[in-house]
Amino acid sequence: MSGSIQDTFFEECEELLEAMDEGLTAVEGGDHDPEVVNAIFRAVHSIKGGAGAFGLDELVAFAHKFETVFDEVRANRLQLDPKLIQLLLRSSDHLSDLVSVARDGGSTDEEHNAVLIAGLEEYIGEEEEDLTFEPMGLGGPSVPLPIEEESEKTYEIRFHPLKEMFGTGNEPFFLFQALSELGPLKVVLDESELPGFDSMAMDESYLAWNMTLTTKEPKSSVEAVFEFVEGLCELEISSDTDGEDEAAALAALNAAFGSPGDSTEPETPVPFDAPAPAEVAPVVSSEPTEKVEAAKPESNKSEQRGPKPTLRVDLERVDRLINAVGELIINHSMLAQQIANLDVADLRDVETELEGFKNLARDIQEGVMSIRAQPVKPLFQRMARIVREASSATQKSAKLVTEGENTEVDKTVIERLSDPLTHILRNAVDHGVEKPEAREEAGKNRIGTIRLSASHRSGSVCIEIRDDGAGVNRPRVKQIAIEKGLIPENAELTDSEIDNLLFLPGFSTAKEVSNLSGRGVGMDVVKNAVSALGGRINISSTPGKGSTFTIILPLTLAVMDGMVVSVADQTMVVPITSIIETMRGSDEMINSLGADGTLLSIRGNFVPICDVAGALGLRKPDGDQPPGVYLLVETETGQRSALAVDDIHDQRQVVIKSLDGVCGNIPGVAAATILGDGKIAMILDPESIIAASPTSATFDTERRMSNAIAS
């Protein structure tokens, strides 16, 4: 049992770490909004609480220090200067390491841990002499809390839980227990609201407690005990000595927490776990998960920055659903075709209904697809860390700027993008960005900027990594390629061909093996990973200005709008997103160029014609009978081409059926789909058709490249 609870805890941790990273990134970007700091604090606090319940002492100890610093920041006793922010960033990295270690085993870097703790303590220490910090959540077991000596006070506490509190699994007993840790506590039950037995509602809360607590702790500590049931109970705390200053402090505390609802944190009872007596421990340890689910919707009402309520579903179930919806859409097309074939005079009613069916199916489908799609944000956030680590390992300064974080990509794609992106970013820091001195000499900002952006582009996802470093050192790249026998010595390569040599297997330019790159794993691994996702990767570079890697990925499993065309008696589908314009050609529009090149003249512009049938090897390119219909498409590089097909039939939504495992990669074909008549049609990939077309210069490049490699 504890295993599954622990799993939930770690899943929660993932989310919390994400929230923490997000907050820290915002802080780094200059957003010092107290709510942001609060969000980070809560995340760290929740991790600490959960870790405490599982006895992960190291994690608790570190999280506590971390949290304490944030508490100082929250109380405006510490300024968020760049140095502190850097420390916090490194600490957050370490915290996520500790979580991983706790989950997967292994060992942590003790030294690193000690350095960071010392760093954090410095900040805590400075403030310790004249100020108190409130020990939120009573602290971890192993950490002694410096508490200012204060005279004893007596608090009168009236605590009346609302029925919602019990709904979240909170237990007054543990609150009392926690209070009694603060000092002698007297609890009197107030059952005056209790109705007669007949009129008692089972789930209503009738009981209240009046408590008298004598403690040295400040009022805020007493408040802290009820932190997790705030908004779930009626609470009055009055002290015999306190005056308006305490009231002000309370107000400040409430303000710091935003509104009551959001302090119902998931790990509610955990802080009380450590001091709790043995017999209640099992109960407590089973609670975090229940609370997680129950408390979440609560915390959302008022919490915009916090995570949205989520549902964890087995991925397989979603996939089954997606498949079923795909079938539904195919089924609809078949039905529509069958009905159209019927010899019935008046089909209008049926057609209207069928249209409704189609819209519904589309709705369901979009909904289902969006379940799998996830924003790239968490992935990008992890990448910030990679850049941070890479720059500190290479003594360079670089910062990561991310764009289009909310671009939604299929979950599988996100998962499998992590490695290639890590690799590219490390390379960007290690090879791309220059040393600060060199940057200054070149008249650039000392801090290198690496821009990571995601966007949807013509039915694909485009991920771009752009650095403002030195760019590819082409003479050197070429020399290495020659040395390693990757290209013949006399090879004449264009700049872009040289850039693309980086993707050849066994290529690595690092002169010395550094910590980061140069382990013999080159960019070819990146390329393979991207290809495995059905994507493409490109590099473009300007010496002195930097390099850009562009990764184009398909929106997997998606349904897309396609144009149904016929090519050499075969029905095929061209993604509509890549088509700019369609037109019927006439002889005078066609111009020959050289031996086998033909150009289509469109309003004074000439674009190369690419015969689809020829490119697919379905018909010998004889050139005498140009097919009549042209689809004007634009490639990712902005190059335009006219795809020649025999005819256009229809425009419709098609379900993409992957050809993975059915046959190997076919040049020119992206996937397949099933048409209304049950036949399979190939979905064409205009990009690779153009590349495979003899008229294209790209093909020439590739052929020369492969020749070069082969020789």
By CB under 8 A, residue 657 contacts other proteins:
yes
By CB under 8 A, residue 664 contacts other proteins:
yes
Among 143, 607, 618, 709, binds other proteins (CB under 8 A): 618
For other proteins, which stretch binds (CB under 8 A), given 7-15, 35-43, 308-316, 672-680? Answer: 672-680
Place of tokens 């009549």: 628
Residues 552-581 as x/- pattern, contact with other proteins by CB under 8 A: ------------------xx----------
For other proteins, which stretch binds (CB under 8 A), given 130-138, 603-611, 620-628, 663-671? Answer: 663-671
Among 668, 670, 685, 696, binds other proteins (CB under 8 A): 668
Q: What CA–CA distances, in Å, run from 577 to 190, 357, 430?
A: 69, 24, 37
The Cα–Cα gap between 461 and 438 comes to: 35
DSSP string, 297-334: HHHHHS-SSSPPP-----HHHHHHHHHHHHHHHHHHHH
Nearer to other proteins, 80 or 318 (CB): 318
Q: What CA–CA distances, in Å, run from 356 to 160, 350, 362, 367?
A: 54, 10, 10, 17
Dihedral, 518, 524, 526, 527 alpha carbons, nearest 10: 160
Dihedral, 469, 471, 472, 475 alpha carbons, nearest 10: -110
Nearer to other proteins, 210 or 323 (CB): 323
Contacts (Cβ under 8 Å, ≥6 apart) of 668: 612, 615, 616, 684, 685, 688, 689, 692
Q: Give me the least distance between CB of 705 and other proteins, in Å please.
A: 19
Among 669, 702, 704, 709, binds other proteins (CB under 8 A): 669
* Residues facing 631 on adjacent strands: 582, 643
Nearest of 389, 355, 372 to residue 515 by alpha carbon: 389
Nearer to other proteins, 256 or 334 (CB): 334
The Cα–Cα gap between 485 and 709 comes to: 8
The Cα–Cα gap between 584 and 574 comes to: 16
Among 681, 683, 690, 705, binds other proteins (CB under 8 A): 681
By CB under 8 A, residue 616 contacts other proteins:
yes
Among 450, 682, 690, 705, binds other proteins (CB under 8 A): 682
For other proteins, which stretch binds (CB under 8 A), given 126-134, 270-278, 309-317, 666-674? Answer: 666-674
Among 667, 697, 700, 703, binds other proteins (CB under 8 A): 667
- # of chain residues touching other proteins (CB under 8 A): 27
Q: Please tell me whether residue 629 adopts helix, strand or coil conformation.
A: strand
By CB under 8 A, residue 683 contacts other proteins:
no
By CB under 8 A, residue 30 contacts other proteins:
no
Q: Residue 298 in contact with residue 233, Cβ under 8 Å?
A: no
Question: What 8-state DSSP symbol labels residue 435?
Answer: P
By CB under 8 A, residue 659 contacts other proteins:
yes
Q: Give me the least distance between CB of 649 and other proteins, in Å please.
A: 15
By CB under 8 A, residue 532 contacts other proteins:
no
Among 666, 698, 702, 709, binds other proteins (CB under 8 A): 666
Among 53, 400, 648, 674, binds other proteins (CB under 8 A): 674
By CB under 8 A, residue 617 contacts other proteins:
yes
By CB under 8 A, residue 672 contacts other proteins:
yes
* Residues facing 648 on adjacent strands: 565
The Cα–Cα gap between 88 and 66 comes to: 8
For other proteins, which stretch binds (CB under 8 A), given 146-154, 160-168, 388-396, 660-668? Answer: 660-668
Contacts (Cβ under 8 Å, ≥6 apart) of 408: 370, 373, 374, 375, 376
Q: Please tell me whether residue 232 adopts helix, strand or coil conformation.
A: coil
Place of tokens 């020789």: 711
For other proteins, which stretch binds (CB under 8 A), given 134-142, 510-518, 574-582, 656-664? Answer: 656-664
**What does the longest C-alpha to C-alpha distance in the chain come to?**
102
Q: Give me the least distance between CB of 541 and other proteins, in Å please.
A: 31
The Cα–Cα gap between 67 and 121 comes to: 11
For other proteins, which stretch binds (CB under 8 A), given 451-459, 502-510, 671-679, 696-704? Answer: 671-679
By CB under 8 A, residue 252 contacts other proteins:
no
Q: Give me the least distance between CB of 672 and other proteins, in Å please.
A: 5
By CB under 8 A, residue 680 contacts other proteins:
yes
Phi (first) and psi of residue 696, to 5 degrees: -90, 140
Phi (first) and psi of residue 651, to 5 degrees: -130, 125
Between residue 322 and residue 351, which ones bind other proteins under the rule CB under 8 A? 323, 326-327, 330
Q: Give me the least distance between CB of 334 and other proteins, in Å please.
A: 10
Between residue 287 and residue 326, which ones bind other proteins under the rule CB under 8 A? 323, 326
Among 30, 105, 594, 661, binds other proteins (CB under 8 A): 661
The Cα–Cα gap between 63 and 591 comes to: 71
Q: Give me the least distance between CB of 667 and other proteins, in Å please.
A: 6
Using CB under 8 A as the criterion, which residues of the chain lie in contact with other proteins when the complex forms? Answer: 323, 326-327, 330, 570-571, 616-618, 657, 659, 661-669, 672, 674, 678-682
